[in-house]
Amino acid sequence: LGNCEKMADTVSPAKQYATAKPAPKSHILLVLLTVLPSIVQVPVNFNIVATAALAVYAGSWRSVKPTPATESMTKSDAMRFPLVGSCVLFGLFLAFKVFPAWLVNALLTGYLICLAVIVLTASVTPYFEDRFPASIRNKTITLPKFKIPHVIDATKEQISATMPELCIGVVSLGFCCWYYATRHWMANNVIGLAFSLEGLEHLSLGSVQTGAVLLCGLFFYDIFWVFCTPVMVSVAKNFDAPIKLLFPRPLLEAGGKRPFSMLGLGDIVIPGIFVALILRYDVANAFRTRYFQSAFGGYALGLAATIVVMNVFNAAQPALLYIVPAVLGCVGLHAWAAGEFWQVFNHSEEVGKPEEGQEGEGSEDKKKQ
């Protein structure tokens, strides 16, 4: 009995809270909120806040893994991120100015759709794979070695997939083809949410300080590109791809076209990975702390403030202008009130060791040093 108690004590909190099907109820609500506007009119402002908040909640719980991530963002990565994002954004703006919009959309959307098939399959498979018979579920198919220059190199490590992944992948391919042919707003949102959930699940900030640096940098990035230039709004309107969520509004425009409100995936994923980091902090402390509630509440509050200001001034707003202070402020005030501000601020996650043979050049450089 004593040995059993010792073994129980050695089980990490992450292993206790990590599950194969995290946050099932929030995933079901996300599906309902995505489908419902095609049947009945859902208040658009409520739909935006509820959908984004549910995506952050579900994605945060998906990020809780039994083993730590093998890679995470560094402070230098976080500092460079706004600069790299600015270059990409301005490059897209110039592309739409120089080339026909249909050509830019066709090329970039085609590329994103290829990624979407993989992302959609990965996001759905955990919730459906146990529906397959055990004889099929455990079968794995390994593809022959191949290489597509500048795209993928599967000559060193062969790609393999289980039968459930292949079957769901075929359905995902058909769904993505339907989106590419019709550009239906609901298909756009399904793919966009899949990108968001996978991003929240697999992107790791590594430390609270890195997260603060990233959020503060993108706070000014968002303000500059929305308020000081027409670039952000122009790209968002011209780029017809699942990089944003579309929420149908009740009134029809001239010509019978249905208007939509938009929310960029970055406004979900960027603050969301910080919220997910705070959840993992609470998990590591076996929920002795409750900072996730403050982070998640701050996100919902900041997004709601964005909607209010947007409606009052009837103009596009940089969501991170309101979300970043709300998330950082709520977590910071909570930690200060609990007398744990520096403990939270200095928190960094353990980085797991990569599997044998998968260490990158960065690992080799560290060994040399």
Tokens of 143: 């593809």
Strands 152-153 and 147-148: antiparallel
Q: Which of 280, 261, 275 is nearest to 330 (CA)?
A: 275
- For residues 165 and 128, what is the distance between their CA atoms, to the nearest angstrom? 10
Q: Look at the chain and count its residues.
A: 369
Please name which of 51, 62, 75, 65 lies closest in space to residue 24, comparing C-alpha atoms: 62
> What is d(CA 145, CA 78) in angstroms, rounded to the nearest whole number?
35
Vertex 220 angle, CA 322 and 338, to 5°: 55
For residue 312, give Cα distances in angstroms to 224, 245, 260, 270. Answer: 21, 22, 18, 25
- Contact call for residues 16 and 64 (beta carbons, < 8 A): no
Task: Please answer whether residues 292 and 61 qualify as being in contact, where contact means their C-beta atoms are separated by less than 8 angstroms.
Answer: no
Query: How far is the C-alpha of 69 from the C-alpha of 352, rounded, in Å?
Result: 6
Stated as kind and residue range, the H or E segment containing 15 is helix 13-17
CB atoms within 10 A of CB 125: 17
Q: For this structure, is 9 an active site residue?
A: no
Residue 330 to residue 51: CA distance in whole angstroms: 21
Residue 240 known to be catalytic: no
The catalytic position among 77, 153, 267, 282 is 267
In degrees to the nearest 10, what's the CA dihedral of 121, 323, 94, 183? 40
Q: How far apart are CA 14 and CA 8, in angstroms?
A: 13
9, 222, 240, 282: which one is catalytic? Answer: 222
Q: Which residues are part of the catalytic machinery?
A: 222, 267
